[in-house]
Amino acid sequence: MIDITAIKALLAEPRRIVITTHHKPDGDAMGSSLGLYNYLIQKGHFVKVVSPTDYPYFLQWLPNNPEVIIFTEKQEESKKLVADAELIFCLDFNALSRINELGDEVRKSSAIKIMIDHHLEPEGFDDYRYWNIGACATAQLVYDFIVNELDEKQYINKDVATCLYTGIMTDSGSFRFPTVTSGLHRIVADLIDAGAENWRIHQQVYDNATEGRLKFLGYCLSNKLEVFREYNTALISVSKSDIAKFDIQTGETEGIVNYALSINGIKLAAFIVERSDRVKLSLRSTGDFPANEICKKYFDGGGHRNAAGGHSEESLEQVVQKFKSILPEYKKLLLL
């Protein structure tokens, strides 16, 4: 659905461009967005990144992060930017519901919409689509888009490389997921050659925790972890009061589910957290177990086979019980 000739024509002269990504952006969302931003400004475009919500402090060091506008904090400015845009790049999401109220503004905008994404089942709001569910990260697709489609590798400078490396590193679980290929490593090598300091990026993202986050992690593992050996499943659930007790900020629960998955023999792990407006669920799995099927079927969500998410309007206790009640249905797959 991508027409590179048309895209090249659109980008041949300076344009008013908005880049947006999903709510509560993670490393891939912000890495791909700012990576594309840092490419486009070299071409003379007027570009703004508009995030639907805030995002983790450990991503706010990315090159040109101060240029990001948060919709919930500057709604009128954000709406005007979207309304005036000629092009809107939609990165790391495939349904406008994933950008909350900002989705209404994007939908009614007359701008040409270009989606770059690797998630299943696109909604179809886009005019052009650069989409590959086999890609490890949206940042990988942004690299491919610039280098292989637009043939403009010369614009992969240190700022672009740093952002794209961050997106690939975080969405690949530090290069340990099955979607990591030799081709991806070649891209990463190019990014390092272009100036991405891999050791510094890892330090900024993973060695940058608050004291509260470490204490919260210890609390989750010692007090909230449940293991169901009969289903090769582990679960961590936390309440709003738990979040408040440790003063947990946006993004600080990221990755905790992986500790549950790291237990020997565990094939499915869940992290269920009570937020102010709903209960959110993150699933991780190994092998061929379809975590995304559970999220889609029972928790109004979806995602990748081994990494998926969902949510519910029910209470934390009800969601936890519902998750546990689903396990017998998948027992054969979990015990393979």
Q: What is the band of 157 on the pLDDT scale with cuts at 50, 70, 90?
A: very high
- State the Cα–Cα distance between residues 194 and 189, nearest whole angstrom: 9
The predicted pLDDT at position 223 comes to 98
The predicted pLDDT at position 97 comes to 93
Q: Find the mean pLDDT for residues 169-194.
A: 95
The predicted pLDDT at position 336 comes to 85
The per-residue DSSP string of 189-241 comes to HHHHHTT--HHHHHHHHHS---HHHHHHHHHIIIIIEEEEGGGTEEEEEE-HH
Model confidence at 276: pLDDT above 90 = no
Model confidence at 1: pLDDT above 70 = no
The predicted pLDDT at position 66 comes to 97
pLDDT (tens digit, 9 = 90+) per residue, 253-269? Answer: 999 999 999 999 999 99
The predicted pLDDT at position 139 comes to 98
Question: What mean pLDDT, rounded, does the chain reach?
Answer: 96
Residue pair 277/312 in contact (Cβ under 8 Å)? The answer is no
Phi, then psi, of 191 in degrees rounded to 5 = -65, -40
pLDDT (tens digit, 9 = 90+) per residue, 201-249? Answer: 999 999 999 999 999 999 999 999 999 999 999 999 999 999 999 999 9
Closest CA to 184 of 174, 194, 216: 174
- Domains of the chain (ranges; CATH) run 4-206 (3.90.1640.10), 211-335 (3.10.310.30)
What pTM was estimated for this model as a whole? 0.91
Q: Find the mean pLDDT for residues 184-195.
A: 98
Q: Find the mean pLDDT for residues 141-153.
A: 98
Q: What is the band of 27 on the pLDDT scale with cuts at 50, 70, 90?
A: very high
- In the DSSP assignment, the letter for residue 146 is I
The predicted pLDDT at position 277 comes to 87
Q: What is the band of 99 on the pLDDT scale with cuts at 50, 70, 90?
A: very high
The predicted pLDDT at position 2 comes to 79
Phi, then psi, of 151 in degrees rounded to 5 = 60, 50
**In what side-by-side order are the strands of the sheet with 233-238?**
225-228, 233-238, 268-274, 279-285, 307-312, 302-303
Q: Find the mean pLDDT for residues 19-47.
A: 97
Closest CA to 33 of 46, 19, 52: 19
Structure tokens, 75: 């709604």
Structure tokens, 265: 């023999």
The predicted pLDDT at position 196 comes to 98
The predicted pLDDT at position 294 comes to 98
Residue pair 288/305 in contact (Cβ under 8 Å)? The answer is yes
- State the Cα–Cα distance between residues 69 and 55, nearest whole angstrom: 11
